[in-house]
A and B are shown apart, each in its own frame.
Chain A
Amino acid sequence: MSEYRKPLPQIQPFTEAFWEGTRNNKLLVQTCNDCDARIFFPRRQCPECWSKDLDWIEASGKAEIYAFSVTYEGVESVFREDLPIVLAWVDLPEGIRMQTNIIDCDPDRVEIGQQVEVVFKPVTDDITLPYFRPVA
């Protein structure tokens, strides 16, 4: 794998399971065993009830675009090769909204409400980033 120069997620002990999940092509959502909260981003404790009894469920990988923005310039030089970058906020049926990129798409045809699905892209040996692409 060629050297990846873009910023990597700064992983915390309590988010290791999420990144282990993406390495195994699984998108995990943190859940609270005490109050059933669906938690994003993953925390040390449940932000609703402060329980430390937290768990993970595997998401279906489906999502809907809540908002997007196509970036054409103004990024750090390491991101320049990726321009245009389609930034998106996607709603998962599991009850969370996350930041991602929409890939494998025509940036001019991305729409709010569009159905998308997760794609896992290994960027280093340790890190696989979850992206989304339009459902065919």
Chain B
Amino acid sequence: MSLAIIGIAEVPTKRDPERTRWDMLSDVCMGAIRDAGIDKDDIEAVISVNPMAQAQMALDMALGRVPEVLGLKGCKDICVLNSGGTSTTNCLRLAKYFIDNGQAKFVLIPHTTVQSDIPTEDLINFFATAPLDPQWEYPYGVTFNGAMGLITNRYMHDTGATAEQMASVTVTLRGWGALDPNSIFYGKPVTLEDVLESRMISTPLHAKECNFLADGAGAMVVTSHEIAQELGRPAAYELGHGVRFTGATPVLREDPYFIKAYRESSQDALTEADLSIDDMDLRQIYGAYPFTQCSALEGYGVCEFGEAAAIWAEGRCGPGGDLPCTSMGDATGRGHTGSGVSMAFYLDTVRQLRGEAGERQVSDCNHALITTSGGSVMNACTTIFGSAPR
């Protein structure tokens, strides 16, 4: 079993309803195939990331429009996969199966999302009803921000993390985003005061610590390690993978901060890769809310429970720090493109491993760990990528 990402493309994250879903989708699919250095007809399967809250686009993808519109004459099969924020991870898993059993040499994995043409009220409703229980949570006015505020509040109580330390996570994420032309916050860093003085949404979360919904698209071309090496172009090689489920409903979880899921999924992935957490040059954490940037480090074993917020506050996880984390910026530092956040995480990891991350480039980045999560962190899917096969 082996998987390598050999081509990527992305459009900048923005709020711009003039850019249609199909405009962006076409651009990133053509871009990723060109970047891979293969012919369009070499693509033998298209596995699409389900676009959230966009029923028509989801149907277009599910019913085969992508290979038809792009004229992918070698395409043998299509599929759209949905597990919220981990949809991209599942696309990679199915692609690996297709590649391993000889069904496809090259698989295209696209994503596109426009949220700027969806009324705000509908988006609040979608993000409140999709991952929350309609009987036991929703009637109490729980929003996604509210649910994550509850967990953050208890996390700060249990760890002693201060509001300033928690805000430093967002300052750091925006620090990465400010250097990233694909971030909606490119050129727009924030200070601790900016975060702490922004409007209170759901305590302890300020507006700048919540997600900013935006539009975006990205695509990847994947193949086997062997073919990637034969092509002789820089690629990201998957070296190990692990996953744990935490539960669908926040109030019912025994491990509210997902520490165990971060620990066990990373241990499985690192064991398969025959590497240790100390071998990682970059940790990419998709949790969408700042406390996850802390609890993931605690789960990975980078530090003890309760120590991570101070590490973020010291600036060690940001650009130029000795423990670079989440150079992608996460949803708070880059803009939330629905199920596209995880796509953007993989694309940024590929850039870092290929040495193409510009001002954000982590020096000597040869091994990266990436964790994605779906729903309200119903799971932790951790993958180790390297700049070379094992």
Whether B124 and A100, one on each chain, are in contact in the complex, defined by CB atoms closer than 8 angstroms, is: no
Interface centre among A74, A77, A97 (most CB of B within 10 A): A74
B256 — which chain A residues lie within 8 A by C-beta? 67
Interface residue total, chain B, C-beta cutoff 8 A = 37
Determine, out of B13-21, B139-147, B171-179, B337-345, the stretch whose residues face the partner at the interface: B139-147
The answer to whether B135 touches A10 (Cβ under 8 A) is yes
* Interface size band for A: 35 or more
Q: Which of A41, A70, A82 contacts B203 (CB 8 A)?
A: A70
The distance in angstroms between the C-alpha atoms of A87 and B139, with both chains bound, is 11
**A6 — which chain B residues lie within 8 A by C-beta?**
139, 141
| Contact partner, A99, options B124, B154, B157, B251, Cβ 8 Å | B251
| Complex contact A76–B146 (CB within 8 A) | no
A8 touches B139 (CB 8 A): yes
Closest to A123 in B: B139
Among the listed A41, A69, A82, which residue makes an inter-chain contact with B150, where contact means beta carbons less than 8 Å apart? A69
How close is A46's CB to chain B, nearest CB, in angstroms? 15
Choose, from B70-78, B88-96, B194-202, B369-377, the stretch at the interface: B194-202
A10 CA to B133 CA in the complex, in Å?
A: 9
* CB–CB A74/B153 < 8 A: no
The answer to whether B141 touches A75, judged by C-beta atoms less than 8 angstroms apart, is: yes
Measured CB to CB, the closest approach of chain A to B131, in angstroms, equals 13
Chain A residues closer than 8 Å to B139, beta-carbon distance: 6-9, 129
Q: How far is the CA of A6 from the CA of B134 in the complex (A)?
A: 12
Interface members, chain B 148-175 (any A CB < 8 Å): 149-154, 157
Contact at A69–B121, with CB atoms within 8 Å? no
The distance from the CB of B135 to the nearest CB of chain A, in whole angstroms, is 4
A58: which B residues are within 8 A, CB to CB? none
Q: B154: which of A67, A76, A77 is its contact (CB, 8 Å)?
A: A67
Closest A residue, CB atoms, query B256: A67
Cβ contact of B153, chosen from A72, A82, A112, cutoff 8 A: A112
Residue interface mask B224-239, A partner, CB < 8 A = 1: 0000000000000000
A75 CB contacts on chain B under 8 angstroms = 124, 141, 143, 146
The answer, among B135, B136, B201, for a CB contact under 8 Å with A71, is: B201
- A11 and B251 CA atoms in complex are apart in Å by 19
Q: How many whole Å from B121's CB to the nearest CB in chain A? A: 6
Which residues does chain A contribute within 8 Å of B121, judged by CB atoms?
76-77
A15: B residues at CB distance < 8 A: 135
Chain B residues near A (Cβ < 8 Å): 121, 124-125, 128, 133-143, 145-147, 149-154, 157, 199-205, 210, 249, 251-252, 256
Q: Which residues of A line the B interface, CB within 8 A?
A: 6-12, 15, 40-41, 66-77, 79, 82, 85, 87-89, 97-101, 112, 129
**9 closest pairs, A vs B, by CB?**
A69-B149, A67-B154, A9-B135, A79-B141, A71-B202, A70-B203, A69-B150, A10-B134, A85-B141
